[in-house]
Amino acid sequence: MDAPSRKIIHCDCDCFYAAVEMRDNPALRGHPLAVGGRPDQRGVVATCNYEARRFGVRSAMAMSQALQRCPDLIVLPPAMEKYRAASKQILAIYRDYTELVEPLSLDEAYLDVTRAPHFKGSATLIAQDIRARIAATVGITASAGIAPNKFLAKIASDWNKPDGMFVIRPPEVDAFVATLPVEKLFGVGKVTAAKLKKLGAHTCTDLRDWPMIALQQHFGKFGESLYRLCRGIDTRQVNATRERKSVSVEETYVHDIPDLDGCLQQLPDLLQSLVARVRRAGAERHVRGLFVKLRFANFRQTTVECVGTALDAPQFARLLETGYERGRRPVRLLGVGIRVKEGEEDLQQLGLFDPDARSDD
């Protein structure tokens, strides 16, 4: 298991976009509120406050569905400049305590405070102080989890939301993890969770009965991760220099694009937006691949990619044609992007502060 001296904090602001809006307009407080796209343009919920969540509204839900569940829902468009400004304030607070800060989104980050001198090295007191400073300086609340590794810290930050904190001390790890459902394990989505349950593994205790070789036979390389995580072991480091691996743009259309010709007509506008984003990211000289993403009217999604070193419009068109042939039906979403070379230090961290960034709360 991880060394007991390791101290990781996961900080996550509560309903970040909505919290900033309620801060700036207190009249919104106490009313169900969602920030996101317009319901008549296939918009989705970026985030919502807890009043909205009582009606079953959640992030990534279609805004039209959210309004069906909560007819009195107040819908606001994202105001990214405000959110970026608040995020920069929050990151500055984090970095007062440690240089080892790994941002995950505008409102969420891991901090390694193992060697932080503040409060005699108490990660719990550091997290309390961070939350108090965010409330006083930014005017919103944040929740925090403290644990010996990233996997557990992230689970802990969600344990007492909103405006709460939870600590998992090294001696408590084994018992805490044993009761967790398998869907709480890092990297386990709906498909893997369903497969695990079909095999009789509903909790981490169940999963511990499986030898590593058996998990590898069923889940490949991920089997080793499952073996470790169900025992509370996570050796991932807090990475303060996360590297961008792709740059992309995408568009969800109000009306489905009926055929391939219609998709090809949308390509020039998408590529123009992509070129602008690639330049902002300083990624022009680091292109190593191209890709196109399509989501069809039946919500099936496919991505086609190839090796490439430049934004080649004819190549994107060929990728689009290949992707369309996989579904051959109307298209609701198109995306284009590039893969970038790893290890390039001069790439800008565009993903954290671009207008497409979304809060995961």
Q: Which residues are annotated as a binding site for Mg(2+)?
A: 12, 107
C-alpha angle 106/108/113, rounded to 5°? 130
d(CA 54, CA 67): 13
Helix 80-94 vs helix 123-137: crossing angle, to nearest 10:
150
- Active-site residue 99, yes or no? no
On the CB side of 47, CA atoms within 13 Å amount to: 24
Which listed residue (21, 51, 102, 108) is catalytic?
108
d(CA 59, CA 55): 13
Instruction: List the one residue out of 88, 102, 168 whose CA is nearest residue 134.
Output: 88
Q: Are the CB atoms for 108 and 361 separated by under 8 Å?
A: yes
Q: Which residues are annotated as a binding site?
A: 12, 107
Q: Residue 346 has which token pair? A: 């001069």
Q: Are the CB atoms for 130 and 142 separated by under 8 Å?
A: yes
Q: Looking at the annotation, which residues are catalytic?
A: 108
